[in-house]
Structure 1
């Protein structure tokens, strides 16, 4: 018998596919209009239209569920379930025609993240999980495969992903970035959702994000947990409500948190 959580995850997978079809109509479109929001981040008709599509379907199927999204006002929950949406995480990649953007859907029940997915419309990949069900990676028309974080335990052998270097400068932590760069085998600017998915699928060991919102983080807490790793804030807490975030494999978690705390002290 399918649980309420599993059935919602199956719906989320379906909605993400529907959103993908809409998003790809606007992808690599030279006439796409880009607006700047109040925080100077870009937004397009694809962002807003994809979130509207998902919200409309949710209102039909689960009218009592709450919804929080990047582009529109929150809808309160009547039953303890809340969907957290980012229709296009990595809008800058989307605008530049780079396929490393994703649609993020997280499902929260009574304050606990219980399921989530990250779909890459430009790659036709999706990574997803629900509590106790393992983490899964589906590539195109292929059957889903279980995915796991890597087992590398030395930073000197690890691939570390980061976001926009300007963020590290504006937050005054460029020296911390330099420390990671000196210790890691590779430091690459594969930020946003793509870096988190790389950690969950064992292709990278760490991603460090100095700035995060709940809709940026929501699916990765259950996905990383089920893949054998961790999604944390920089204080080492397993939450999507911190102002920053890390996805990391189990073997490197303590070292990464220690490096950050040493820098903060």
Structure 2
């Protein structure tokens, strides 16, 4: 890893931690919840956290583009570097006072994710990675688990039903039949469970780029995989699966 990328990772780690503190000011409070055009919820915490991240990144890296869930694309659209921001991944959990939400930051270089940071403010966990630097969990190296079969695996998912609208209901049924344990510890937290060796598979039938851009470098640097539902390592397909790598082939066979 270059010194430049290490410096950027250090800065992103600091920003994600500070943005998390902004969200905690509103967590488990009487929040006003607005609805966006797609009917998904948004709060002042989402907006303030993203505004903070944008301002800090624009000041430090004025030649970088920034794409965020709440404010869209700003900056130099043709830049080789593009930040991807999700100020609160898991807003539905956040507004219910559930601590499984995260602040997500990723950096793309020439369209490839090279850095990811996910801060879980309410649980006190932060996981971060950059190409060639390994994956780190609260300051210590972390790795995926050594479980090698689905029958021994813990599978987690963001949602437990509704897969039929994405054409994935039959695949989910086969996965649940094949795995050892299934839980709905979802959104970014489920994927971090895989990166830190506490689960083997995390499923998301639908994702936006701000939901998954940080996950690919985190999972790969932890020794695992982040792919679409066809097993391709990408953030462009609108869905996502994290695995420890050892069960990926079996999982793809089950998905069919």
Shorter-chain-normalised TM-score: which range? Answer: over 0.9
Give the structure 2 partner of residue 107 of structure 1.
Answer: 107
Q: Secondary structure at the match of 1:166?
A: coil
**Separation in structure 1 between the aligned mates of residue 215 and residue 168 of structure 2, nearest angstrom:** 24
Q: Deviations over 1:109-165 (max 9, x none)?
A: 111111111100101110000001110000xxxxx1110011111111000011223
Are 2:214 and 1:215 aligned? no
Unpaired runs of 5+ residues, structure 2, are: none
- 8 Å Cα contact 1:127/1:137 also seen in 2: yes
Residue 141 of structure 1 aligns with which residue? none
Helix, strand or coil at the partner of 1:114 = strand
Q: TM-score, normalised by structure 2?
A: 0.96
Residue 149 of structure 2 contacts residue 250 of structure 2 at CA under 8 Å; is this kept in 1? no
Q: 1:183 — aligned with what?
A: 178
Q: 2:48 aligns to what SS in structure 1?
A: helix
CA change 1:183–1:2 in 2 (3 A) is closer
- The 2-side partners of 1:239 and 1:228 are apart by 16
* Structural RMSD (CA): 1.4
Gaps of 5+ in 1: 139-143
Distance 1:78 1:24 in 2: 35
Match of 2:236 among 237, 241, 246: 241
2:60 maps to 61
1:252 aligns with 2:247: yes
TM-score, normalised relative to structure 1: 0.93
Task: Work out whether residues 196 and 247 of structure 1, in 8 Å CA contact, stay in contact via their aligned partners in 2.
Answer: yes
Contact 1:64 1:78 in 2 (8 A): no
- The answer to which of 244-253 and 164-173 deviates more is 164-173
Measured in 2, the distance between the counterparts of 1:258 and 1:179 equals 10
In 2, Cα distance between equivalents of 1:73 and 1:181:
36
Shift of 1:240: 0.9
Question: 1-side partners of 2:113 and 2:103: how far apart?
Answer: 17
Aligned residues: 255
Q: Give the secondary structure class of the aligned counterpart of 1:180.
A: helix
**Partner secondary structure for residue 9 of structure 1:** helix
Please show how residues 88-127 of structure 1 align to structure 2 within 5 Å: 88-127=88-127
The separation in 1 between residues aligned to 2:251 and 2:244, in whole angstroms, is: 10
In the aligned structure 1, how far is the partner of 2:16 from the partner of 2:113?
A: 18
Report the Cα offset of residue 36 of structure 1: 1.5
